Amino acid sequence: MNHQQMTDRIARGNGFIAALDQSGGSTPKALRAYGVADEEWNGEDQMFARIHEMRSRIIRSPAFSGEKVVGAILFEKTMDGTVDGVPVPRALLDKGVVPFLKIDKGLEDEANGVQLMKPIPDLDALLERAKGLGVFGTKERSVINSADPQGIADAVAQQFELGHQVLSHDMMPILEPEYSIKAPDRQEGEAILRDEILTNLDALPEARQVMLKLSLPVERDFFRPLVEHPRVLKVVALSGGYSREEACAELARNHGVIASFSRALLDGLRAQMSDEEFNRTLGEAIDAIHRASRQKVDA
C-alpha cells in the first residue's frame, strides 16, 4: 500500500486499530496477563524478547488480518523486529494492516491536573527511519486527570505541536490526550477537551489532517463534532481500563468512532495455549471489537 492507499483504508474505517505498543513500563504487566511470570525473563532484553514473541504470534495468526484490523500501533523495538524473517511493518502491510509507531517516551509528573509527554530526543531521525520501513503514522499519549482548563489546554497544545512535527515528515499523527475514566469530573473535563481540540483543528491548514485517540466519553456521541471535522481523518477510542465487554458496549454508542484497544484486545490470550486455542480466542476478541466499531446502537 502506498501513502494514499493507507490514508483511504483508515478513512473508510472498515475495522479497528490494534494497539500492540506496550513499552517498558507496561510490558511486565502485559506479560503477566499473557501467562509469562516475572521469573521467566531476566533483564530488559529478555523482557522485550518475550513480548515480541507474543506480538509475533498475534501478527502471524490467521485471525489477525486486514479484513477486520485496519491498523496496528507498534512499540519501537517491535517496529525494528521481524516476524518469520520479515520486518514487522512489511508483515503488517502484507496482511493489509496499516502500521503506526508509538513515539512518546512516557509522562512527566502531574501538573495542573495533567501529565504531559516527556521530551522525545532525536524524533526527526526516528520518523525518517520509521517512514523508510513503511510506517504510515505515529501515536503519542498524554493523560488528563482532572478538569483543569489550563492543564487541558497545555496537553492539547503539546499534542498538536508534536502533531505538526510528524506532519512535516508526511506522516499521520494520532494525537492521544487520554482522559482518565476514573476522574470524577470527567464529563466536565471532556467538554473542555473537545473545545480545545476543535480550536486547534480549526487552526490547521486545509490540506492537513490528524487522527485522534480519545477515551470513550460519558455522553454518547459527544465527540461527533470531532468525527465530522474536515481536519480529522479518523477518531479512535482507547479501552482505558474498561473490560472488553464494557469497552465494546461504550464504543457501540459512539457513531463514527472505531476501536484502538490494547488490553481489551489481548485479554484472554495465554502463552501456554495451543495455536488452535490461541487463534480462536484472538478471533473472538477481534470479532467483538470489529462489531462494536462497525455496528452502532441508537439506544
pLDDT tens-digit series, residues 27-67: 888 899 899 999 999 998 899 899 999 999 999 999 999 99
The whole-number pLDDT of residue 208 equals 95
Q: Out of 140, 213, 234, 250, which one is annotated catalytic?
A: 213
176 in catalytic set: yes
245 in catalytic set: no
Band of pLDDT at residue 258, cut at 50, 70 and 90: very high
- Asked if pLDDT for residue 291 goes beyond 80, the answer is yes
Provide DSSP, 44-58.
HHHHHHHHHHHHHHH
Chain segment 102-156, per-residue pLDDT in tens: 999 999 999 999 999 999 999 999 999 999 999 999 999 999 999 999 999 999 9
The whole-number pLDDT of residue 28 equals 87
Per-residue buried b or exposed e for 36-57, using 16+ beta carbons within 10 Å of the residue's own CB = beeeebeeeeebbebbbebbbb
- Asked if pLDDT for residue 249 goes beyond 90, the answer is yes
- Asked if pLDDT for residue 299 goes beyond 70, the answer is no
- Asked if pLDDT for residue 24 goes beyond 80, the answer is no
Query: In angstroms, what CA-CA distances link 215 with 12, 241, 250, 287?
Result: 21, 10, 10, 21
Q: Out of 176, 178, 196, 250, which one is annotated catalytic?
A: 176
Of the listed ranges 15-29, 66-80, 183-197, the one predicted with least confidence: 15-29
- Asked if pLDDT for residue 225 goes beyond 70, the answer is yes
Cβ neighbors of 202 (< 8 A, separation 6 or more) are 231
The whole-number pLDDT of residue 283 equals 97
CATH number corresponding to 3-294:
3.20.20.70
> pTM for the complete prediction?
0.95
